[in-house]
Amino acid sequence: MFVTKAEFKRSYKRKMSSMFGKALEEASLADKYITLASMIRDTINERWVRTNESYLEQETRQVYYFSLEFLLGRFLESNLLYLDICDTVRQGLSEMGIDLEDLIESEPDAGLGNGGLGRLAACFLDSLASQALPGHGCGIRYKYGLFAQKIIDGYQVELPDNWLRETNAWEIRKPDKAAIVKFGGRIKTVSDEKKSPRFEHVDYLPVKAVPYDMPIPGYRNGTVNTLRLWSAEVVDNEFDFSSFSRGDYINAVSNRYAVEAISEVLYPDDSNYKNRQLRLKQQYFFVSAGLQSIVRRYKKKKLDIHRLADHIAVHINDTHPALAVPELMRILMDEEGLGWDEAWRMTTRIVAYTNHTIMPEALETWPYEVFRDLLPRIMMIVEEINARFCARLQKAYPGEPERVRRMAIISDGVIKMANLAVVGAFSVNGVAEVHSQLLQNSVMRELYEFFPKKFNNKTNGVTHRRWLIKANPGLSSLLSETLGTPLAHQPEKLADLMAHADDKALGEQLRLVKRANKERLAAFIQRAVGVTVDPDSLFDVQVKRIHAYKRQLLNALHVLHLYNQLRDDPDLDIVPRTVIIAGKAAPSYYYAKNIIKFINELAVLINGDPRVNDRLKVVFLENYGIQMAELIFPAADLSEQISTASKEASGTSNMKFMMNGAVTIGTDDGANIEIRAAVGDDNFFPFGLSVGEVLRYYREGGYSAAALAASDQRLSRLIRQLQGELFPRLPQDEFHNIVRSLLDYNDEFFVLRDFGSYAAAQARVDAAFRDRAAWQRMSLVNIAQSGRFSSDRTIGLYASEIWKLTPCPVPQRSPVLIQK
Binding site for ligand 26Q (CB under 6 A): 114-117, 120, 267, 269-271, 273-274, 279, 356-357, 362, 364, 431, 460, 648-652, 670
Q: Smallest distance from the beta carbon of 424 to ligand 26Q, in angstroms?
A: 19
Active site residue 228: no
d(CA 233, CA 256): 8
Return the exposure string of 657-669: e unless at least 16 CB atoms fall within 10 Å of the residue's CB, then b.
Answer: bbbbbbbbbbbbb
CB atoms closer than 10 angstroms to residue 815: 6
Q: Which residue is nearest to ligand 26Q (CB)?
A: 116
Q: What is the DSSP string of 705-770?
A: HHHHHHH-HHHHHHHHIIIIIT-TTS-TTTTHHHHHHHTTT--TT-HHHHHHHHHHHHHHHHHHHH
What is the identity of the amino acid at 56? Answer: L
Find out whether 358 and 649 touch, Cβ atoms under 8 Å.
yes
Neighbouring-strand partners of residue 152: 155
Close Cβ partners of 610 (under 8 Å, ≥ 6 residues apart): none
Report CA 611 to chain centroid distance, whole Å.
41
Q: Smallest distance from the beta carbon of 115 to ligand 26Q, in angstroms?
A: 5
d(CA 820, CA 86): 22
CB of 215 or CB of 583, closer to ligand 26Q: 583
Catalytic-role residue among 544, 561, 584, 676: 544
Catalytic-role residue among 47, 656, 753, 788: 656
- Among residues 531, 622, 530, 544, the alpha carbon closest in space to that of 152 is found at 622
- How far is CA 814 from each of CA 2, 46, 811, rounded to the nearest angstrom? 11, 11, 9
CB of 158 or CB of 269, closer to ligand 26Q: 269
CB of 655 or CB of 768, closer to ligand 26Q: 655
Active site residue 584: no
CB of 279 or CB of 500, closer to ligand 26Q: 279
Catalytic-role residue among 61, 470, 545, 584: 545
Q: Smallest distance from the beta carbon of 232 to ligand 26Q, in angstroms?
A: 18
CB of 254 or CB of 275, closer to ligand 26Q: 275
Enumerate helices (H) and strands (E) in the chain, giving the number of each. Answer: 33, 25
CB of 171 or CB of 648, closer to ligand 26Q: 648
d(CA 499, CA 503): 9
d(CA 23, CA 528): 35
Catalytic-role residue among 32, 377, 470, 550: 550
Close Cβ partners of 375 (under 8 Å, ≥ 6 residues apart): 183, 280, 284, 323
Q: Smallest distance from the beta carbon of 669 to ligand 26Q, in angstroms?
A: 9
Q: Smallest distance from the beta carbon of 417 to ligand 26Q, in angstroms?
A: 9
Active site residue 489: no
CB of 114 or CB of 741, closer to ligand 26Q: 114
Close Cβ partners of 420 (under 8 Å, ≥ 6 residues apart): 319, 322, 325, 326, 382, 385, 409
Q: Smallest distance from the beta carbon of 194 to ligand 26Q, in angstroms?
A: 45
Catalytic-role residue among 652, 664, 667, 794: 652
CB of 124 or CB of 684, closer to ligand 26Q: 124
Active site residue 356: yes
Catalytic-role residue among 136, 356, 464, 584: 356
Q: Smallest distance from the beta carbon of 666 to ligand 26Q, in angstroms?
A: 13
Q: Smallest distance from the beta carbon of 652 to ligand 26Q, in angstroms?
A: 5
- How far is CA 31 from each of CA 15, 343, 467, 641, rounded to the nearest angstrom? 10, 51, 29, 43
Active site amino acids: 356, 544-545, 550, 652, 656
